[in-house]
Amino acid sequence: MPVFITLEGTEGVGKSTALTYIQGYLAQHQVPFVTTREPGGTPLAEKIRTLLLTKDAEPMSSTAELLLMFAARAQHLAQVIQPALASGQWVLCDRFTDATYAYQGGGRGLRQADIGLLETLVQGELRPTLTLWLDAPVELGLSRAAARQQLDRFEQEKAVFFDKVRAVYQQRAEAEPKRYRRIDASLSIEEVQDQIHAVLARFLSVRTL
Amino acid sequence: MPVFITLEGTEGVGKSTALTYIQGYLAQHQVPFVTTREPGGTPLAEKIRTLLLTKDAEPMSSTAELLLMFAARAQHLAQVIQPALASGQWVLCDRFTDATYAYQGGGRGLRQADIGLLETLVQGELRPTLTLWLDAPVELGLSRAAARQQLDRFEQEKAVFFDKVRAVYQQRAEAEPKRYRRIDASLSIEEVQDQIHAVLARFLSVRTL
- Write the pLDDT tens digit of every residue in B183-206: 999 999 999 999 999 999 999 998
Please provide the size of chain A in residues.
209
| pLDDT score recorded for residue A130 | 98
Report which of residues B170 and A156 the model is more confident about.
Answer: B170
pLDDT tens figures, B98-143: 999 999 999 999 999 999 999 999 999 999 999 999 999 999 988 8
> For the ranges A56-70, B96-110, B136-150, which has the lowest average pLDDT?
B136-150
Written as one letter, the residue type at B15 is: K
Is A64 in Cβ contact with B67 (below 8 Å)? no
- The CA distance from A12 to A155, in Å, is 9
- The CA distance from B146 to B202, in Å, is 35
**DSSP label at residue B134:** E
CA angle A187, A188, A189 (to 5 degrees): 120
| pLDDT score recorded for residue A2 | 83
Q: Whole-model pTM?
A: 0.97
- Residue B98 has, within 13 A of its CA and on its CB side, a CA count of 32
- Touching check for B55 and chain A: CB below 8 Å? no
Which residues in chain A have Cβ-Cβ distances shorter than 8 Å to B74?
61, 63-64, 67
- Residue B84 has, within 13 A of its CA and on its CB side, a CA count of 20
- The CA distance from B107 to B165, in Å, is 5
- The dihedral over CA atoms of A163, A169, A170, A175, expressed in degrees to the nearest 10, equals 150
- Touching check for A44 and chain B: CB below 8 Å? yes
Cβ atoms of B15 and B93 closer than 8 Å: no
| pLDDT score recorded for residue B144 | 86
pLDDT tens figures, A74-131: 999 999 999 999 999 999 999 999 999 999 999 999 999 999 999 999 999 999 999 9
Would you say residue A209 has pLDDT above 70?
A: no
- pLDDT confidence band for A153 (50 / 70 / 90): very high
Task: Give the chain B residue nearest A110 (alpha carbons).
Answer: B121
Would you say residue B208 has pLDDT above 90?
A: no
User: Average pLDDT, whole number, for chain A?
Assistant: 95
User: Average pLDDT, whole number, for chain B?
Assistant: 95
Phi and psi of A200, rounded to 5°? -70, -40
| pLDDT score recorded for residue B209 | 59
